[in-house]
Structure 1
Amino acid sequence: MNPASLTRKFTIPIALFLSVGCGRQEKLIPERRPRPVATAVLSQRLPPNAALVTASTGTWKSEQLGFEVAGRIEFVAEQNTAIDGRIRDAEGKLIVEGTPIARVESERYQLAVANAEASVARAEQDLIVGRNDLKETIPAQIDAANASLELAKVEYDRSRQLGRQNAISQSELDRAKSTYENAVAQLRQLVASEKSQQAQIASLESALLQAKQGLRDAQRDLEDCTLYSSFQGVISDASVVPGSLVSAGTPVVTLQMMDPIKVELEVSGEQSRRLQRTETLHRRRFGAVASRCVAVAGR
């Protein structure tokens, strides 16, 4: 074989290879962006037992409030007014003043308190006088009666002795006897009055207690001229207006407790059997748009 021809055979393929390799353009590969991911901590728990049920809201507590005394309305709070309850401790000491709900005219109840205070003062004075009579006056009278009795007895004994000797007349003896018997009766009367005074003291003490109770009743009636609630809530309805005449126990306003709010669920028998009394239900927050505002929950 001719070396020259061998050289040509190898030259042609190489040239073609080089021409082909130089003519190809480099292909660009776009860079891939990382995908966003979310992480969570794994924990063991029971799968949720979700169910869609219908429910309605209602008031946790609703009460009609009225005065314990009769009178003419002087002031009443408006509907939708927030009310703080008046709270006292176990000893009756006021802890929270509370918001006044309504008030009736109190002039005659103030006069009743003044009269009751005067009755207490009179009862206290009568008791002081009665105790002083029992402690000082009656004992002094008894001592004087004893002295008179001793003197009358001496005179009567002397008169009887003189009478036996016919030294005095019968009328003088009778007078001495009468004086002695009167002294005995006077002493007995004073001893009886002492026992009666002890009973009178007990009666005066009872009268003082009754007067103090009357004063407390009058003061309570005066306090009841202003109406308070025992719990916090919102006035949903006012049944009276200023100037109205109300009697004791007549409903004046309706007060509803707004926190918490009762939710009543309508569930099937099977669902109700799965619910336990103390079971915790997960809260869900719902968005809403207020269209109107009333103070009655559930509307």
Structure 2
Amino acid sequence: MPRVSKKNLFALAALAVVAAAGYWGYGHYRLNHADLKLYGSIDMRTVDLAFEESARLESMLFEEGAQIKAGDLIAKLDESRHRIARDQAAAQVNVAKAELDLLLAGTRAEEIDVARARLKAAEANLVLSERTCKRYQDMGKASSALVRDQACYAARADRAAKEEAKRTLEMLLAGTRAEEIDVARAAWVQSQTRLADAERALRNCSLYAPSDGVIRARLKEPGDMVGANTPVYEVALMNPLWARVYIDEINLGKISMGQNVELTVDSFPDKVFEASVGFISTVAEFTPKTVQTESLRTNLVYEVRLTVNDPEGLLRLGMPVSARLLSK
């Protein structure tokens, strides 16, 4: 067996050290630069849609599983009661406006002429009744006490009638008080507010989709009486589409907001969906049961939400996903 020289032995040892260092360096590089794989599911964000008014449900326009777009009419209430209330409120606005216009127009000249004529008639009646009273008083015992009293009471009544006619004419000449106009104007504004509320209630008899989504549950049927805020649909929102995944604390430094992600699902194994990091939780939690990787089941993890690009609408809510976090 040939003897190995010290020089060769030293060279072999140095080579072994270099190889070990290279292997450790390569492993460390792979650990820090390899793409990270995360697990989770398509996020299920739902909203309960309800009317703001109470009435009988007239129609439900979509079935469960149907896709809807923002602004789609999805249900209607019976509008008859709310339409009557709207028409009544509109009539009250017209009445209040007419009363205000009447006060603003002031007294007509014909009314003032009538008041003047009534005052002149009252003055004439007063002159006659006062003279009659004085005549009976001057007659003394030649006239009966009853006749004298009747004549003098008639004079006092005519005097009061004359004062009433005078005050009426003065009021007509002075015109409408500013306070009365203010009250009438406030009543008109109040009637307009009631009309606006009635029109709002009538509009709310139609229920529209607030966003793109999928009908998950149809909770009521036509003919049902529904109260205000009673849900009639449960809708899963699809815009934006989220995937909820989890990352452990060790790898938390490898992820950042806006980072690109490739998403795959079992239903379409050959298709890759583009996504990006949209949210990273600041609070750790135990790994949810929906994450089915053995190495992560008992670890503390952080929730990450990915904004997913799914132009073909292939992904479904709750679908398990695997996310490959691309290197920064």
Class of the TM-score when normalised by the shorter of the 2 chains: 0.5 to 0.7
Of 182, 187, 207, the residue aligned with 1:202 is: 182
> SS at 2:36's partner residue?
coil
Name the structure where strand makes up a greater proportion of residues. 2
| 1:112 alignment partner in structure 2 | 85
Matched, 1:289 2:267: yes
- Identify the range of structure 1 (236-245 vs 190-199) with the bigger mean alpha-carbon deviation: 190-199
Superposed CA deviations along residues 229-260 of structure 1, whole A, max 9, x for unmatched, are 32222221111111111101101111222132
Structure with the greater relative contact order (CA < 8 A, sep ≥ 6): 1 or 2?
1
- Alpha-carbon distance in structure 2 between the residues aligned to 1:138 and 1:51: 95
- Alpha-carbon distance in structure 2 between the residues aligned to 1:287 and 1:295: 8
Q: Which structure has the larger Rg? A: 1
- Alpha-carbon distance in structure 2 between the residues aligned to 1:298 and 1:137: 81
Relative to structure 1, the CA distance from residue 286 to residue 121 in structure 2 (aligned partners, 3 Å threshold; closer, same or farther) is: same
**Is residue 116–residue 169 contact of structure 2 (8 Å, CA) maintained in 1?**
no
| 2:27 alignment partner in structure 1 | none
Of 42, 52, 57, the residue aligned with 2:37 is: 52
Relative to structure 1, the CA distance from residue 223 to residue 265 in structure 2 (aligned partners, 3 Å threshold; closer, same or farther) is: same
Superposed CA deviations along residues 173-211 of structure 1, whole A, max 9, x for unmatched, are xx9999999777755566567576432222221221122
| 1:246 alignment partner in structure 2 | 226
How far residue 271 of structure 1 moved from its aligned partner, in angstroms, is 2.1
Relative to structure 1, the CA distance from residue 177 to residue 82 in structure 2 (aligned partners, 3 Å threshold; closer, same or farther) is: same
- Identify the range of structure 1 (180-189 vs 61-70) with the bigger mean alpha-carbon deviation: 180-189
| 2:54 alignment partner in structure 1 | 70
Superposed CA deviations along residues 32-82 of structure 1, whole A, max 9, x for unmatched, are xxxxxxxxxxxxxxx8452122222213x4211101111111111211222
**Is residue 56–residue 263 contact of structure 1 (8 Å, CA) maintained in 2?**
yes
**Is residue 104–residue 176 contact of structure 2 (8 Å, CA) maintained in 1?**
no
Superposed CA deviations along residues 74-119 of structure 1, whole A, max 9, x for unmatched, are 111211222222xxxxxxxxxxxx2111111111111112212221
Letter paired with 2:92: S
TM-score by length of 2: 0.54
- Alpha-carbon distance in structure 2 between the residues aligned to 1:280 and 1:122: 61
Relative to structure 1, the CA distance from residue 191 to residue 83 in structure 2 (aligned partners, 3 Å threshold; closer, same or farther) is: farther
**Is residue 236–residue 294 contact of structure 1 (8 Å, CA) maintained in 2?**
no
Of 251, 270, 276, the residue aligned with 1:271 is: 251
- Alpha-carbon distance in structure 1 between the residues aligned to 2:258 and 2:94: 62
Superposed CA deviations along residues 96-145 of structure 1, whole A, max 9, x for unmatched, are xx21111111111111122122212211222222222x364699479959
Percent of aligned positions that are identical: 22
| 1:94 alignment partner in structure 2 | none
| 1:35 alignment partner in structure 2 | none
Relative to structure 1, the CA distance from residue 54 to residue 237 in structure 2 (aligned partners, 3 Å threshold; closer, same or farther) is: same
Relative to structure 1, the CA distance from residue 298 to residue 176 in structure 2 (aligned partners, 3 Å threshold; closer, same or farther) is: same
- Identify the range of structure 1 (111-120 vs 181-190) with the bigger mean alpha-carbon deviation: 181-190
Relative to structure 1, the CA distance from residue 56 to residue 129 in structure 2 (aligned partners, 3 Å threshold; closer, same or farther) is: same
Relative to structure 1, the CA distance from residue 268 to residue 185 in structure 2 (aligned partners, 3 Å threshold; closer, same or farther) is: same
Alignment of 1:59-98 (within 5 A): 59=44, 61-76=45-60, 77-85=62-70, 98=71
TM-score by length of 1: 0.59
How far residue 226 of structure 1 moved from its aligned partner, in angstroms, is 0.8
CA RMSD of aligned residues (A): 4.3
- Identify the range of structure 1 (266-275 vs 66-75) with the bigger mean alpha-carbon deviation: 266-275
